């Protein structure tokens, strides 16, 4: 029997919040040299991503992407380069260009080189008409430009799968909480910023109301969900391949503040809602992830207490 083909992975947006953690885990699994990190930004010295190959890449440059895939003999792409909701509302044209254009580049490159693709979706695909506990299958009418680009991304994945057999898959990520790399430009960033502020200033001005409740997930769970989805045999991947709901946990901003107060003496928080409140209000409180559980066995591990402990320990290093 011929030896199975080695997995060689390319990651776009590798210096971002998810990329930093995902590259580390992929390199642990496949070997440093088999994971090509790419980003539009220059590689800074102080990141874990320096332990393997890195190339500058714009996700809009399909020719450059194709060349790198051939040069490094890539077998799958994790496409994380994107503009999040807050930056997207400030610059909708850029958001559409990067998020939709980047996904098309990746899917075209995958089609031409027979690659597997991971391209994430988001809870931002839901809108004000979604039930507060979001079903897997429901009309998708987001109000943010970011959410609209993610709906388009899911449609593109389904199109390339049906028409060209491209094995692309995605998760609807909730707000992701991690300490290795800062979040940036998202509505759910308060759930990350609050930890840095608590430890450094002892105070946080939170930009959503205390009763704001959103689906969230610790990064370790998100990385495991991503890899479990991608490593599942194709026969287990059902109709939701382009955007599986995955639940971690849900808490209000006040519950998060209270959990941090239990661990950080003297921590105070003011609530000063701004325009980001509107984006948060348009998203559901929680998601129904029965399909992910049934199709490929998803189960979250981190509850709020475990997240608070891990964040404080990680950021204190
Ligand atoms: N975390 C993202 C944001 O807030 C949602 O996917 O924009």
What is residue 128's three-state secondary structure? Answer: coil
Confidence of residue 305 (pLDDT cuts 50, 70, 90): very high
Domains of the chain: 9-124+137-174+218-245 (3.40.50.720), 176-216+249-289+302-316 (3.90.25)
Please indicate whether residue 146 is annotated as part of the active site. yes
Instruction: Please tell me the distance between residue 245's alpha carbon and the centre of ligand 1 in angstroms.
Output: 14
Q: What's this model's pTM, rounded to 2 decimal places?
A: 0.97
Give the pLDDT confidence score for residue 4 in this predicted structure: 65
Ligand 1, closest atom to CA 176? 1
Q: Which two tokens stand for residue 236?
A: 């287990």
Which CA distances in Å does 68 have to 50, 167, 187? 18, 20, 33
Q: Please say whether the beta carbons of 244 and 229 come within 8 A.
A: yes
Helix axes of 62-71 and 92-113: crossing angle, nearest 10 degrees: 40
Q: From the CA atom positions of the chain, what is the Rg in Å?
A: 19
Pocket of ligand 1 (CB under 6 A): 84-85, 122-124, 146, 173, 175, 186-188
Give the pLDDT confidence score for residue 2 in this predicted structure: 61
**pLDDT mean over 105-131:** 98
| pLDDT of 241 over the 80 cut | yes
Mutate to test the pocket of ligand 1, among 18, 80, 83, 84 (most ligand atoms within 8 A of CB): 84
Ligand 1, closest atom to CA 175? 1
Q: Which of 72, 118, 146, 302 is catalytic?
A: 146
Helix axes of 253-261 and 190-200: crossing angle, nearest 10 degrees: 30
What is residue 144's three-state secondary structure? Answer: coil
């Amino acid at each position: 029997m011929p030896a199975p083909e080695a997995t060689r992975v390319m990651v776009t947006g590798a210096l971002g919040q998810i990329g930093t953690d995902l590259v580390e885990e992929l390199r642990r699994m496949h070997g440093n040299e088999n994971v090509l990190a790419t980003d539009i930004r220059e590689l800074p010295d102080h990141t874990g991503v320096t332990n393997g190959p890195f190339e500058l890449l714009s996700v809009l440059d399909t020719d450059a992407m194709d060349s790198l895939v051939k040069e490094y003999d890539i077998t799958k792409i994790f496409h994380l380069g994107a503009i999040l909701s807050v930056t997207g509302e400030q610059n909708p044209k850029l958001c559409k260009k990067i998020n939709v254009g980047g996904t098309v580049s990746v899917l075209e490159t995958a089609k031409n080189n027979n690659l597997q693709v991971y391209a994430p979706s988001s809870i931002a695909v839901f809108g004000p008409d979604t039930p507060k506990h979001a079903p897997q299958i429901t009309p998708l009418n987001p109000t943010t430009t970011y959410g609209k680009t993610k709906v388009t991304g899911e449609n593109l994945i389904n199109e390339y799968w049906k028409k060209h057999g491209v094995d692309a898959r995605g998760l609807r990520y909730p707000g992701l909480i991690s300490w290795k790399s800062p979040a940036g430009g998202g509505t759910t960033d308060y759930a990350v910023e609050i930890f840095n502020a608590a430890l450094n200033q002892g105070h946080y001005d939170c930009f959503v109301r205390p009763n704001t409740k959103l689906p969230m997930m610790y990064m370790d769970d998100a990385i495991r969900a991503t890899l479990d989805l991608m490593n599942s045999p194709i026969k287990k991947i059902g109709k939701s391949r382009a955007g599986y709901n995955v639940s971690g946990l849900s808490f209000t901003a006040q519950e998060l503040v209270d959990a941090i107060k239990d661990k950080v003496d003297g921590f105070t928080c003011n609530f000063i809602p701004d325009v980001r409140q509107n984006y948060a209000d348009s998203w559901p409180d929680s998601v129904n992830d029965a399909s992910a559980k049934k199709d490929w066995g998803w189960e979250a591990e981190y509850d709020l207490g475990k997240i608070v402990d891990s964040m404080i320990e990680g950021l204190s290093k």
